[in-house]
């Protein structure tokens, strides 16, 4: 598929051919949802923990004798019904990790990129370079490109000037193309990709599942 190629001033300077296998693939909402749930679950540390009655400090002695006081029978002041006592069925450390085959993860990325391309939310730039860090330059570029409420800038490699310029802008994120993930793709309205970043994306998202004879 062909899309317009723009410069940083928002002007069309030509067209660029996008790989149909990546940017015109079948859109699979179920697969994208599964990949997103996996990424969010794997980010969950699972270090939450409460103490049971056997772990809280104190409570070793019986608070009063069993009979004859007119009060309920108690064996320890660290039982769950006491203030400062242990917690019943509280959270314990656990792993929330979910597994997903690499082919499915990459298929989900192709599906998300195809969704962006079909919704006119993918902008391809001829180049993205700044001589020095300048937030206003990135803000003016986003206005010229009509990037919408939020934008994801994909970079082919480390670009300190662009990264420093964009980090002060709300709802704007820079990301190296080889770290492309489903959460950022779906979390930003517009994806801005320089031509050099396209090469990086195509290098690891190209369909390699075809058996060669």
Strands 12-17 and 151-155: unpaired
Q: How far apart are CA 202 and CA 71, in angstroms?
A: 75
Q: What sign does the CA torsion over 116, 119, 121, 126 have?
A: positive
Say what the pLDDT of residue 101 is: 95
Residue 152 sits at the vertex; the CA angle it makes with 20 and 35, to the nearest 5 degrees, is 65
Say what the pLDDT of residue 134 is: 94
Please name each of the domains of the chain with its CATH number.
2-45+98-205 (3.40.1370.10), 52-90 (no CATH)
Strands 2-6 and 12-17: antiparallel
Residue 179: pLDDT above 50?
yes
Q: Which two tokens stand for residue 213?
A: 């004879």
8-state DSSP, 53: T
Confidence grade of residue 210 (pLDDT, cut at 50, 70, 90):
very low
Say what the pLDDT of residue 207 is: 63
Cα–chain center distance at 48: 22
* Short-list 174, 132, 134, CA closest to 150: 174
Per-residue pLDDT tens digits for 26-84: 999 999 999 999 999 999 999 999 999 999 999 999 999 999 999 999 999 999 999 99
């Amino acid at each position: 598929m062909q899309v317009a190629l723009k410069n940083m001033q928002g002007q069309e300077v030509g067209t660029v051919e996008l790989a149909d296998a990546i940017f015109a693939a079948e859109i699979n909402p179920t697969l994208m949802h599964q990949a997103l749930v996996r990424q969010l679950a794997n980010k969950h540390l699972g270090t939450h923990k409460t103490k049971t009655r056997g772990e809280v400090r104190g409570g070793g002695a019986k608070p009063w004798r069993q009979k004859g006081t007119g009060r309920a029978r108690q064996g320890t002041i660290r039982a769950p019904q006491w203030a400062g006592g242990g917690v019943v069925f509280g959270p314990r450390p656990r792993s929330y990790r979910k597994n997903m085959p690499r082919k499915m993860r990459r298929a989900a990325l192709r599906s998300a990129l195809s969704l962006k391309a079909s919704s006119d939310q993918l902008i391809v730039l001829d180049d993205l370079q700044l001589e020095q860090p300048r937030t206003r330059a990135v803000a003016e570029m986003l206005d010229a490109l009509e990037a919408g409420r939020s934008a994801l800038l994909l970079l082919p490699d480390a670009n300190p000037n662009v990264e420093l310029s964009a980090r002060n802008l709300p709802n704007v994120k820079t990301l190296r193309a080889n770290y492309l993930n489903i959460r950022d793709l779906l979390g930003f309205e517009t994806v801005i990709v320089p031509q050099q970043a396209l090469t990086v994306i195509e290098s690891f998202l190209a369909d390699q599942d075809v058996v060669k004879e």
